[in-house]
């Protein structure tokens, strides 16, 4: 959990090495500390329960919270106790229209299917945006938000807080410096799903219990097709449903693939294919292995990216045993979530959701010393709070690039990740034209890049 911290205070750089993995914490004051003469940024929170609770709290440490919005009045009233001066809303559209001139920026921490509609409306009104991962529900939405950020010159940040970890930034620098050579393979895995979906649930609920008095169900449904309320959707179990969530891939890959994506400067892939459990029309599959091909970039060669999720025949879907033997010590097992980058001069293994701790190996699996390379990325080290601080600083200094997971980067990452879910639905290898936002060999799969919104909701 992030510790509350005065944004004018800081701690010195420190390094910790544990269990053979490299992990750096603390703040390099030469690169990150600052004093701003500007007034506080006025922030509105859209979705203030669950992860949204800490998101708006942390923004409150660095700015002024002037409005809060949630479809669940229980969440809203709970957060109002902390921010009694903030105006309360259960419909973000009304909040933005009514408080337009009183808001500088928004946080969006709603279920995935309403990320884009809330964010796009705010950005079109000139508001800076901090949005939880994955940035959007669909590939097209990610493209729209990325382009809006550029067009409006807004300061943005996606909530994959590992981006603020010094260990991740060090790993990025090591890979870019060529320490493990040309990277041809990336393997990323998760134990998700840990919420109800296939094979436990494959059909919509038949029961139609009454909507709780505190829940504004139509606003929860948002742009998605209408359906009756059920506690199997709200407040948390929406993740496994096609209409609301993005499954295990959307939930975790923007965290766990982040280090590799940033280190290798990945952009538009050329193809994507998925092997997975047979699909049902309502929930994501119980397991999947997605293979995405990326082309050469500058001096970096092509990369094959593997994603593994869920359980197949009772066993977690994982990278090949041969590769595991190279990166694991005697008696070690793969952790629930991590990544491996395989280069021709070495291997980097991160047993961490965020890529913030890692160990280097030679190609044969023998230990490799961690060399010192030039620090080219600013140091932060404050995790989730640090991401908010960078975003607020970017707004105050009018420098979008200060937020490392800004939508120019995060939009591209989200597009590439969500293509895996499209491949699951398409059931075949898809050739991707990134700039054209379309598949060249399977035009019918383009229908899965977006969906038609309900009346009253727009991108």
pLDDT, one tens digit for every residue, the chain (459 residues): 233 333 333 223 333 333 355 544 333 433 444 334 447 999 999 999 999 999 999 999 999 999 999 999 999 999 999 999 999 999 999 999 999 999 999 999 999 999 999 999 999 999 999 999 999 999 999 999 999 999 999 999 999 999 999 999 999 999 999 999 999 999 999 999 999 999 999 999 999 999 999 999 999 999 999 999 999 999 889 999 999 999 999 999 999 999 999 999 999 999 999 999 999 999 999 999 999 999 999 999 999 999 999 999 999 999 999 999 999 999 999 999 999 999 999 999 999 999 999 999 999 999 999 999 999 999 999 999 999 999 999 999 999 999 999 999 999 999 999 999 999 999 999 999 999 999 999 999 999 999 999 999 999
46 close to 69: Cβ distance less than 8 angstroms: yes
Identify the burial level of 435 via C-beta atoms within 10 angstroms of its C-beta, where 0-12 means exposed, 13-18 middle and 19 or more buried: exposed
β-strand pairing of 357-361 with 128-132: unpaired
Torsion of CA 262, 264, 270, 276, to 10 degrees: -70
Q: How many other C-beta atoms can be found within 10 angstroms of the C-beta atom of residue 399?
A: 12
Domain ranges of the chain: 13-163+380-407
Cβ neighbours for 220, distance < 8 A, ≥ 6 positions apart: 71, 111, 233, 234
β-strand pairing of 64-69 with 87-89: parallel
The CATH number for 13-163+380-407, chosen from 3.40.50.720, 3.40.50.1360, 3.20.20.70, 3.40.50.460, is 3.40.50.720
The helix/strand/coil state of 293 is strand
């Amino acid at each position: 959990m992030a510790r509350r911290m005065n944004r004018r205070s800081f701690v010195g750089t420190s390094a910790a090495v544990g269990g053979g993995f490299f992990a750096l914490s603390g703040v390099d004051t030469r690169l990150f500390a600052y004093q701003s003469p500007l007034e506080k940024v006025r922030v509105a929170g859209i979705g203030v329960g669950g992860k949204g609770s800490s998101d708006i709290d942390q923004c409150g440490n660095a700015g002024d919270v002037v409005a809060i919005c949630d479809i669940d009045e229980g969440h809203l009233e709970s957060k109002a106790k902390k921010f009694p001066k903030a105006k309360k809303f259960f419909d973000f559209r009304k909040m933005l229209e009514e408080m337009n001139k009183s808001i500088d920026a928004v946080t969006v921490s709603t279920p995935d299917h309403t990320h884009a509609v809330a964010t796009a409306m705010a950005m079109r009104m000139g508001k800076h945006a901090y949005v939880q991962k994955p940035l959007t529900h669909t590939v097209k939405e990610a493209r729209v938000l990325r382009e809006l950020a550029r067009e409006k010159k807004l300061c943005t940040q996606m909530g994959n807080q590992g981006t603020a970890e010094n260990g991740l930034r060090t790993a990025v620098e090591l890979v870019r410096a060529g320490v493990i050579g040309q990277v041809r393979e990336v393997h990323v895995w998760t134990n998700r799903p840990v919420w109800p979906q296939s094979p436990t649930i494959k059909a919509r609920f038949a029961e139609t219990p009454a909507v709780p008095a505190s829940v504004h169900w139509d606003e929860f449904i948002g742009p998605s097709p209408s359906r009756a309320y059920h506690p199997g959707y709200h407040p948390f179990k929406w993740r496994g449903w096609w209409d609301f969530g993005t499954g295990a891939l959307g939930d975790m890959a923007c965290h766990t693939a982040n280090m590799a994506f940033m280190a290798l400067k990945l952009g538009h892939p050329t193809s994507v294919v998925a092997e997975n459990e047979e699909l049902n029309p309502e929930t994501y599959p119980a397991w999947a292995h997605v293979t995405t091909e990326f082309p050469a970039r500058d001096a970096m060669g092509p990369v094959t990216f593997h994603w593994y999720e869920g359980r197949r025949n009772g066993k977690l879907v994982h990278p090949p045993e041969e590769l595991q033997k190279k990166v694991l010590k005697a008696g070690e097992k793969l952790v629930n979530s991590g990544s491996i980058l395989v280069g021709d001069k070495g291997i980097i293994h991160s047993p961490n959701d965020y890529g913030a701790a890692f160990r280097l190996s030679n190609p044969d699996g023998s230990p490799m010393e961690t060399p010192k390379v030039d620090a080219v990325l600013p140091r932060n080290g404050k995790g989730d709070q640090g991401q908010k601080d960078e975003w607020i600083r970017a707004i105050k200094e009018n420098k979008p690039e200060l937020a490392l997971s800004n939508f120019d980067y995060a939009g591209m990452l989200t597009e590439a990740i969500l293509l895996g879910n499209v491949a699951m639905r398409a059931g075949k290898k898809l050739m991707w034209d990134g700039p054209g936002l379309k598949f060249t060999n399977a035009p019918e799969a383009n229908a899965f890049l977006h969906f038609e919104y309900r009346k009253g909701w727009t991108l």
